[in-house]
Amino acid sequence: MTTRILTGITTTGTPHLGNYAGAIRPAIVASRAADADSFYFLADYHALIKCDEPARIQRSRLEIAATWLACGLDVNKATFYRQSDIPEIPELCWLLTCVAGKGLLNRAHAYKASVDKNVEQGEDPDAGISMGLFSYPVLMAADILMFNAHKVPVGRDQIQHVEMARDIAQRFNHLFGQGRELFTLPEAVIEEDVATLPGLDGRKMSKSYDNTIPLFGSARQLKDAIARIVTDSRLPGEAKDPDSSHLFTLYQAFAAPTQQADFRAALEAGLAWGEAKQQLFQLLEAELGEARERYHALIERPADLEDILLAGAAKARRIATPFLGELREAVGLRSFRSQPVGAESGKKKASKSARFVSFRDEDGSFRFRLLDASGEQLLLSRSFADGKSAGQVNKRLQSGEPLDLREEGDAFGVWLDGECVAQSPSFADSSACQAAILRLREALAPQE
Ligand code: TRP
């Protein structure tokens, strides 16, 4: 069985080395496993909750997309898309909103922290809190449940959200599943052995501490950042303690075991910090140099990135669209056509909504039309020399035998025994054409 892995990246910042080691690199490695079916997406609707600077949102989406591709994500294997390109997600979000308990969401850490802060400052408890922030976990549940993910790799601060997604899924299954598991119950995965990198000052590398090392800045910027790593004051020649040095921790996260051992020995033997920083720089250059070039090449071709992401969205929607259709059906948002009024109350099945109309053409030949419930023409037959042949073809179309429909542009023909016996009008666009095909199939489906 394949495991569906899904995770979202909020698009509010520029990826740094800590994001790379802690999330991007392990996710890309995981996506290569033979049994992995990975879904990685830019959580740009979530970004709007935290950020009201359009330029920053846009820049971050571009940078994060380019980063993942430059780091080697294979979009033919994984599904890579922008949340905001999948209209099914906000639609599902509403269905979930209608079953998510307000009390459940009241307990979300992020919301509670904001309330506590307001109260502490003597403000109204909900001052400055948007409905977006309050409902953040429901949108995240929609992201996860839309694709029935099994595993959701996240940071510790997100575990509660995945648990809420589970809760909401369970409730939805119970209410609407009629014994079926409509949604898979997702599990959060925390990768224990993944590196949490220290930043320049030794605290966790994080944008909020302003201690990050840029991932794809220039080589110069990388060098400058490394130069600012805080070390102790031991002089060249003095023995250093690798285990109390976050420079060593950074080195370790990117080095092979033998390199690590050599570096440790060199520090213990008195390697100068300046020299050690030079070695760290070389190590990072070796890891990131080529990816940086790919990154800049991608950033310079935003239209190509757009195409890649739109293709990813189309791939994702091949799953989302039919699944959302099932969910709409489950909650009772059903087509009136497929559920004739009265059918459920045991009344005689409503009469067939579409009808055939036979007529004689100006030249005396025989033809028929098929009109849908609203009188719109679905088919016009070819001309027949006599009424009997027209009638036979008409009968066969209603016999329930599989239909041979062939599309041509935004129109279609119906074929019997190798000839086209009837044609649709030309529709305005392909979705109008597809809708007409659906109506035709319904009209000609065998009736009990
Ligand atoms: N909330 C996540 C974060 O801030 C991002 C995210 C949005 C996400 N939707 C998701 C993560 C779905 C996993 C699954 O990190």
394 labelled binding-site residue: no
12 is in an annotated binding site: yes
Dist. CA 7 → ligand 1 center (Å): 6
CATH topology of domain 216-299: Tyrosyl-Transfer RNA Synthetase (1.10.240)
Q: pTM here?
A: 0.76
The atom of ligand 1 lying closest to the CA of 10 is: 5
CB distance 158 to ligand 1 below 6 Å: yes
CB 140 near ligand 1, within 6 Å: yes
- Residues linked to residue 404 through DSSP beta bridges, in sequence order: 415
pLDDT of residue 448: 53
Q: Is 150 in the pocket of ligand 1 (CB under 6 A)?
A: no
Please state which CATH number belongs to domain 3-100+135-195+301-331.
3.40.50.620
Nearest protein CA to atom 11 of ligand 1, as residue: 8
pLDDT, position 338: 65
Provide the residue ranges of all domains of the chain, joining segments of one domain with +.
Answer: 3-100+135-195+301-331, 216-299, 355-444
Whether 8 lines ligand 1, by a CB cut-off of 6 Å, is yes
- Closest atom of ligand 1 to 161 CA is 1
Supply the pLDDT for residue 180.
Answer: 86
Residue 5 near ligand 1, beta carbon < 6 Å: no
- Answer whether 46 contacts ligand 1 (Cβ < 6 A): yes
| Tens-binned pLDDT, residue by residue, of the chain (448 aa) | 899 999 999 999 999 999 999 999 999 999 999 999 999 999 999 999 999 999 999 999 999 999 999 999 999 999 999 999 999 999 999 999 999 999 999 999 999 999 999 999 999 999 999 999 999 999 999 999 999 999 999 988 999 999 999 999 999 999 999 888 999 999 999 977 777 899 999 999 999 999 999 999 999 999 999 999 999 999 999 999 999 999 999 999 999 999 999 999 999 999 999 999 999 999 999 999 999 999 999 999 999 999 999 999 999 999 999 999 999 999 999 888 765 444 444 444 444 567 888 888 888 889 999 988 777 889 999 999 998 999 999 989 988 888 899 999 999 999 999 899 999 999 988 888 998 998 888 888 876 5
Flag whether 347 is marked binding: no
Instruction: Give me the chain's average pLDDT, please.
Output: 92
430 labelled as ligand-binding?
no
- Ligand-binding annotation for 205, yes or no, is yes
Residue with CA closest to ligand 1 atom 10: 8
CA-closest residue to ligand 1 atom 7: 8
The alpha carbon of 139 and the centre of ligand 1 are apart by a number of angstroms equal to 9
Q: Is the CB–ligand 1 distance for residue 146 below 6 Å?
A: no
- Cα(9) to centroid(ligand 1), Å: 6
**Is residue 249 annotated as involved in ligand binding?**
no
The reported pLDDT for the residue numbered 13 is: 93
Q: Does 44 sit in the ligand 1 pocket, CB within 6 Å?
A: no
Tell whether 204 is in a known binding site.
yes
Kindly report the protein residue whose alpha carbon is nearest to atom 13 of ligand 1.
7
Output the pLDDT for position 222: 96
Looking at the DSSP bridge assignments, the partners of residue 366 are: 360, 384
Contact of 161 with 137, CB cutoff 8 Å = yes
Nearest CA, atom 6, ligand 1: 8
Question: What does the pLDDT look like over 292-344, one tens digit per residue?
Answer: 999 999 999 999 999 999 999 999 999 999 999 999 999 999 888 765 444 44
| 77 marked as part of a ligand binding site | no
- Regarding the beta carbon of 10 and ligand 1, being less than 6 Å apart is answered yes
Instruction: Ligand 1, residue 155: give the atom nearest the CA.
Output: 15
pLDDT at 343: 45
Pocket test for ligand 1, best of 86, 154, 156, 187 (most atoms within 8 A of CB): 154
Q: Is 346 annotated as a binding residue?
A: no
CATH of 355-444, one of 3.40.50.170, 2.60.40.1120, 1.10.10.10, 2.30.29.80: 2.30.29.80
**Could you tell me if the CB of 143 is within 6 A of ligand 1?**
yes
* 277 is known to lie in a ligand binding site: no
